[in-house]
């Protein structure tokens, strides 16, 4: 293949599944990519192209003759076509638009008009719609005619004369139905749908919840305008999970993957929270400075400082993470707060006691009985306080309309750290003054 | 409905989609659940049952007459049937087994024999298999006969006389094919498969990567034994994402959801890492204790301690989280380490400089020029060190065969905190001694 053997290349590229080929091309130089793609039939080339990363698509598209690009766009799935088109430079958009057939042009205009992150931007217009008054036999004719270009032929959408969605029927049901039956007798009329302006997470959740192959998307008048298929829903779910995981470490969502993002994009996604957390930590510092006299009186206390405030923060970030994820998957609801708070009191008390028992002996060795008691009592208190704060923060954020995922582990840790300092030295001052007073 | 109106209940339950009905029943008392379920036809009841949480399934199943349970099991999907059966008490298992028909009994025995978390435990045996030598017309007859019980009829599996999988054909292709064509001429022979002992994550990734409706599962002899459908893959992907997010906050995977787990299960999932992190933090404490003289000489340094070591930890947990997620989705590969390390040097230097500029003025105000210099220099150093350590740790863990997700944010933070203490006081000692020496 490296010997520029055209025939071998042609065999290779036509045997590879489209996603694998896309990955293979991603590793090659732009020139070789063009060459490899040219060995594919236009339909297969359009499929492979759909699997490329957006930035690779753009780079390849911009180097193509415009007629070739127009042909490629014509053969791509309507949703992938719109995504690619949206990326092109404005003058290229106008030029390519002129080369497209009327149908593709209108379709592209419609799909390109929806805002990023909505059902409209995610949907495909390659679905099978059949008038509800057709017979099963007529429906099969329409399916056969549209099968080559449709994204799925397994869910068939029944529409009325106004184009409004009135029911769905699966291909499985059609195969079992009598040929002369009318679709309106066979179809299910309770249809799960979403409107074009629905958020893409909601669309993905609906598809997962109802185990749908595809979710029909309607406009405000109830007319069917597109479908979102399960594979696009899986991609959205993965993207959302990645964003949630990144937010959990106070990284703001990246538009692209880590490897392909620019250095500045990665810097930007990380710097804001890091600087904010620096200022959050100033409170811990101020707390420590405030207790300088206590520290001077008992320097052994400093040994346990990172450990105690760290433990509160860790327990809190555990609690926050469990709640944030529970809210994201819908397993935890707002009204569960009170019940979960009660459970958390017990869990955190058990955690705090376990950790106090683990650390008290070391306290006794380094500073005697009073230090052991101070350290143990502080541990129980900071773990309970940290856990309850970590549990409640995501609920609070959602209540005021923020994304609960903003309660990232570092934010929770920083907030609890500052309180932990006060709790620690507060308890220490009280306990250490007590024997001094007698 | 609360007035015990049987007819209204019957209408209500038969109109609700199965996942919604399952959620509704989950909120009701056990007695009412039984009553509501009894209004459903057995096929629908089996569908709804498949959507229940495992613990609810078990509770309901144990209260049913055994004959009813056996009938229910007979009508459930084979994969859900095996999951429910595996949960029952051993004596109930034996009794129910005797009441099942031969086919269901054998099927249950086979599926129940695979280890949790493998393709075998995830798969369903309700697929459509057709001899590769059949004609398209014959295939349609087989599809019609199996359609009512098959999980999907949209991917048809072609087998030879030994039961080995030799190709697949989609129902879409069959509809477009000539009736008298033989399947072996129409089918695709390059089939993506997994073996029964493959990990469920791998199965879910294959389905997502190739946009499959269902992945055929073969035994070691290449015989087709089951399929995993895309909706089960979506469930696995969500479960894996949840586990990764929990691990990121050092919470070990929970078998059930947060709300339904026992208090002890939640305690257990959190306590191990919390106690380990306590001991990790002892190193930070020891570091601080070691520099007691430095602290005594310049108490202003303590003010900046949480802030500086926290910043290193935060930057490190950001880097670790980005890499852990990248490795989990396959976007980052082992061989990318060197390139990403180079990028991270630049990103971390920029982050460190930004944060140093933010904090240096406060250093100058609280302690003068030397403290400002110490704090700024430490900030740049700990952020670069923390980021590079956080980036490298997941690669290192995978190299030695551990799950990279073990590099949870709290672990990374704790490790980097301890080093941060040494860096801070090391720099402070050097800079503060320098003027003292002149």
Query: What is residue A157's three-state secondary structure?
Result: strand
Query: What is residue A135's three-state secondary structure?
Result: strand
Q: CB distance B284–A304 less than 8 Å?
A: no
Chain B residues with beta carbon closer than 8 angstroms to that of A277:
310-311, 314
Highest mean pLDDT among A216-220, B72-76, B274-278 belongs to A216-220
Residue of A nearest to B192 (CA): A17
Q: pLDDT band for A238, please (50, 70, 90 cuts).
A: confident
Query: What is residue B408's three-state secondary structure?
Result: coil
Q: CB distance A307–B241 less than 8 Å?
A: no
Query: What is residue A165's three-state secondary structure?
Result: strand
Q: CB distance A306–B421 less than 8 Å?
A: yes
Q: For residues B374 and B424, give the distance between their C-alpha atoms in angstroms, rounded to a whole number.
A: 8
Q: Check which CATH number belongs to the domain holding A182 and give it.
A: 3.10.580.10
Q: CB distance B277–A211 less than 8 Å?
A: no
Q: pLDDT band for B262, please (50, 70, 90 cuts).
A: confident
What does each C-alpha distance from A360 to A171, A281, B278 come to in angstroms?
Answer: 68, 27, 12
Q: Check which CATH number belongs to the domain holding B89 and give it.
A: 1.25.60.10
Please enumerate in sequence order all residues whose Cβ is within 8 A of that of A317, keeping only pairs 6 or more positions apart, or say none.
A390, A409, A410, A412, A413, B249, B409, B410
Assess whether B399 and B273 both reside in one domain.
Answer: yes
Alpha-carbon Rg for chain A in angstroms: 30
Q: pLDDT band for B5, please (50, 70, 90 cuts).
A: low
Chain B residues with beta carbon closer than 8 angstroms to that of A351:
267, 270-271, 274
Q: For residues B274 and A351, give the distance between their C-alpha atoms in angstroms, rounded to a whole number.
A: 8
Assess whether A319 and A359 both reside in one domain.
Answer: yes
Assess whether B100 and B133 both reside in one domain.
Answer: no
Q: Residue A150 domain-assigned?
A: yes
Q: Give me the residues paired with residue B216 across strands.
A: B227
Q: For residues A6 and A207, give the distance between their C-alpha atoms in angstroms, rounded to a whole number.
A: 44
Q: For residues B249 and A322, give the distance between their C-alpha atoms in angstroms, rounded to a whole number.
A: 9
Q: Which of B236, B278, B297 to mutate to test the interface with A (most CBs of A within 10 A)?
A: B278
Q: By C-alpha distance, which of B378, B377, B386, B383 is closest to B415?
A: B386
Percent of chain B with pLDDT over 90: 29
Q: Specify the pLDDT at position A198.
A: 93
Q: Residue A258 domain-assigned?
A: no
Chain A residues with beta carbon closer than 8 angstroms to that of B298:
none
Q: Specify the pLDDT at position B437.
A: 35
- Report pLDDT digits (tens) over A115-162: 888 999 899 988 999 999 999 999 999 998 988 888 888 999 999 999
Pick the range with the lowest mean pLDDT from A64-68, B128-132, B171-175, B184-188. Answer: A64-68
Q: What are phi and psi of A192, to 5 degrees?
A: -80, 125
Pick the range with the lowest mean pLDDT from A108-122, A351-365, B122-136, B339-353. Answer: A108-122
Q: CB distance A248–B245 less than 8 Å?
A: yes
Chain B residues with beta carbon closer than 8 angstroms to that of A241:
237-238, 241, 244-245
CB-closest option in A235, A274, A321 to B355: A274
Q: Which of A215, A322, A420 to mutate to test the interface with B (most CBs of B within 10 A)?
A: A322
Q: CB distance A332–B271 less than 8 Å?
A: no
Mean pLDDT of B225-232: 91
Assess whether A98 and A167 both reside in one domain.
Answer: no
Q: For residues B382 and A1, give the distance between their C-alpha atoms in angstroms, rounded to a whole number.
A: 47
CB-closest option in B326, B340, B410 to A317: B410
Q: Are A62 and A88 in contact (CB under 8 A)?
A: yes
Give the gap in angstroms from C-alpha B279 to the nearest C-alpha of chain A.
Answer: 8
> In chain B, which among 162-181 make CB contacts under 8 A with chain A?
171-172, 175-176
Assess whether A29 and A109 both reside in one domain.
Answer: yes
Would an 8 Å CB–CB cutoff place A272 in contact with chain B?
A: no
Would an 8 Å CB–CB cutoff place A27 in contact with chain B?
A: no
ipTM of the complex: 0.79
Domain limit, last residue, from A239, A271, A297: A239
Assess whether B233 and B314 both reside in one domain.
Answer: no
Mean pLDDT of A209-222: 92
Mean pLDDT of A391-395: 92
Q: How many CB atoms are closer than 10 A to CB A216? A: 22
CB-closest option in B241, B244, B250 to A318: B250
Chain A residues with beta carbon closer than 8 angstroms to that of B302:
285, 288-289, 292, 295
Q: For residues A322 and B52, give the distance between their C-alpha atoms in angstroms, rounded to a whole number.
A: 22
Percent of chain A with pLDDT over 70: 97
Assess whether B295 and B431 both reside in one domain.
Answer: yes
Query: What is residue A286's three-state secondary structure?
Result: helix
Q: Specify the pLDDT at position A21.
A: 80
Q: Specify the pLDDT at position B1.
A: 54
DSSP string covering A200-244:
HHHHHHHHHHTT-SEEEEE-TTSBEEEEEEHHHHHHHHHHHHHHH
Q: Residue B191 domain-assigned?
A: yes
Average model confidence (pLDDT) across chain B: 86
Would an 8 Å CB–CB cutoff place A298 in contact with chain B?
A: no
Give the gap in angstroms from C-alpha B425 to the nearest C-alpha of chain A.
Answer: 14
Q: Check which CATH number belongs to the domain holding A370 and give it.
A: 1.10.357.20
Q: CB distance B347–A263 less than 8 Å?
A: yes
Q: Which of B207, B307, B329 to mutate to test the interface with A (most CBs of A within 10 A)?
A: B307
> In chain A, which among 308-347 make CB contacts under 8 A with chain B?
309-311, 314-315, 317-318, 320-326, 329, 331-332, 336, 339-340, 343, 346-347
> In chain B, which among 77-136 make CB contacts under 8 A with chain A?
none
Domain that holds residue A156: 129-239
Chain A residues with beta carbon closer than 8 angstroms to that of B171:
153-154, 171
Give the gap in angstroms from C-alpha B176 to the nearest C-alpha of chain A.
Answer: 6
Mean pLDDT of B208-230: 92
Q: Residue A256 domain-assigned?
A: no
Q: Residue A122 domain-assigned?
A: no
Confidence check: pLDDT of A414 > 50 = yes
Q: pLDDT band for B375, please (50, 70, 90 cuts).
A: very high
Q: Are A242 and B325 in contact (CB under 8 A)?
A: yes
Percent of chain B with pLDDT over 70: 97
Q: Residue B363 domain-assigned?
A: yes
Please enumerate in sequence order all residues whose Cβ is within 8 A of that of A250, keeping only pairs 6 or more positions apart, or say none.
A270, A273, A274, A277, A408, A409, A410, A411, B314, B318
Q: Residue A253 domain-assigned?
A: no
Assess whether A218 and A280 both reside in one domain.
Answer: no
Bigger pLDDT: A181 vs A42: A181
Would an 8 Å CB–CB cutoff place A54 in contact with chain B?
A: no
Please enumerate in sequence order all residues whose Cβ is within 8 A of that of B141, keeping only pairs 6 or more positions apart, or say none.
none
Q: CB distance B270–A351 less than 8 Å?
A: yes
Q: CB distance A259–B332 less than 8 Å?
A: yes
Chain B residues with beta carbon closer than 8 angstroms to that of A321:
245-246, 248-249, 251
Chain A residues with beta carbon closer than 8 angstroms to that of B351:
267, 270-271, 274
Q: For residues B88 and B365, give the distance between their C-alpha atoms in angstroms, rounded to a whole number.
A: 69
Q: Residue B313 domain-assigned?
A: yes
Chain B residues with beta carbon closer than 8 angstroms to that of A339:
259
Please enumerate in sequence order all residues whose Cβ is within 8 A of that of A68, keeping only pairs 6 or more positions apart, or say none.
none
Mean pLDDT of B24-38: 77
- Report pLDDT digits (tens) over B398-433: 888 888 877 778 888 888 888 998 899 889 888 876
> In chain B, which among 137-156 make CB contacts under 8 A with chain A?
140, 143-144, 147-148, 153-154
Domain count, chain B: 3
Mean pLDDT of B383-388: 94
Assess whether A205 and A280 both reside in one domain.
Answer: no
Confidence check: pLDDT of A297 > 80 = no
Q: Specify the pLDDT at position B139.
A: 94
Q: Are B417 and B284 in contact (CB under 8 A)?
A: yes
What does each C-alpha distance from A45 to A12, A13, A33, B187, B262 come to in angstroms?
Answer: 14, 10, 11, 21, 53
Residue of A nearest to B328 (CA): A242
Assess whether B185 and B137 both reside in one domain.
Answer: yes
CB-closest option in B147, B248, B329 to A175: B147
Query: What is residue B392's three-state secondary structure?
Result: helix
Q: Are A154 and A257 in contact (CB under 8 A)?
A: no
Residue A54's Cα: distance from chain center in Å? 17
Q: Which of A214, A258, A304 to mutate to test the interface with B (most CBs of B within 10 A)?
A: A258
Confidence check: pLDDT of B172 > 80 = yes
Chain B residues with beta carbon closer than 8 angstroms to that of A415:
none
CB-closest option in B143, B242, B305 to A325: B242
Chain A residues with beta carbon closer than 8 angstroms to that of B353:
none
Confidence check: pLDDT of A437 > 70 = no
Assess whether A166 and A314 both reside in one domain.
Answer: no
Assess whether A19 and A151 both reside in one domain.
Answer: no
Give the gap in angstroms from C-alpha B170 to the nearest C-alpha of chain A.
Answer: 10
Q: Are B379 and B355 in contact (CB under 8 A)?
A: yes
Q: Which of A213, A285, A393 to mutate to test the interface with B (most CBs of B within 10 A)?
A: A285
Confidence check: pLDDT of A435 > 50 = no
Q: CB distance B258–A15 less than 8 Å?
A: no
């Amino acid at each position: 293949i490296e010997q520029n053997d055209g025939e071998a290349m042609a065999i290779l590229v036509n045997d590879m599944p489209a996603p694998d080929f896309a990955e293979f091309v991603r590793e090659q130089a732009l020139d070789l990519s063009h060459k490899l793609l040219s060995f594919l039939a236009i339909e297969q080339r359009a499929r492979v192209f759909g699997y490329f990363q957006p930035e690779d698509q753009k780079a390849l598209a911009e180097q193509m003759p415009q007629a070739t690009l127009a042909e490629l766009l014509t053969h791509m799935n309507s949703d992938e076509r719109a995504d690619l088109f949206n990326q092109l430079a404005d003058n290229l958009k106008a030029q390519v638009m002129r080369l497209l057939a009327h149908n593709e042009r209108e379709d592209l205009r419609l799909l390109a008009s929806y805002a990023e992150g909505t059902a409209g931007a995610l949907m495909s217009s390659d679905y099978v719609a059949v008038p509800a008054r057709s017979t099963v036999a007529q429906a099969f004719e329409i399916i056969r005619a549209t099968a080559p270009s449709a994204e799925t032929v397994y869910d068939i959408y029944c529409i009325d004369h106004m184009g409004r969605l009135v029911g769905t029927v699966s291909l499985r049901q059609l195969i079992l139905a009598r040929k002369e039956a009318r679709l309106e007798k066979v179809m299910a009329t309770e249809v799960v749908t979403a409107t074009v302006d629905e958020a893409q997470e909601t669309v993905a959740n609906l598809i997962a919840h109802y185990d749908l192959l595809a979710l029909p998307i309607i406009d405000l008048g109830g007319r069917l305008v597109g479908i979102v298929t399960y594979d696009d829903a899986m991609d959205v779910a993965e993207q959302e999970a990645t964003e949630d995981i990144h937010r959990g470490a106070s990284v703001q969502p990246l538009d692209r993957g880590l490897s392909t993002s620019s250095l500045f994009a990665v810097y930007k996604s990380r710097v804001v929270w890091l600087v904010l957390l620096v200022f959050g930590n100033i409170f811990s510092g101020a707390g420590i400075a405030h207790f300088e006299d206590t520290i001077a009186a008992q320097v052994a206390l400093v040994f346990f400082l990172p450990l105690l405030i760290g433990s509160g923060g860790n327990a809190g970030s555990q609690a926050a993470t469990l709640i944030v994820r529970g809210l994201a998957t819908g397993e935890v609801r707002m009204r569960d707060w009170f019940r979960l708070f009660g459970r958390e009191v017990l869990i955190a008390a058990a955690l705090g006691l376990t950790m106090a028992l683990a650390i008290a002996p070391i306290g006794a060795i380094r500073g005697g009985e009073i230090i052991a008691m101070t350290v143990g009592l502080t541990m129980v208190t900071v773990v309970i306080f940290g856990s309850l704060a970590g549990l409640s923060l995501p609920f609070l954020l959602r209540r005021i309309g923020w994304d609960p995922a903003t309660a990232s582990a570092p934010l929770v840790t920083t907030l609890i750290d500052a309180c932990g300092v006060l709790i620690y030295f507060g308890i220490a001052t009280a306990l250490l003054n007590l024997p001094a007073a007698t």
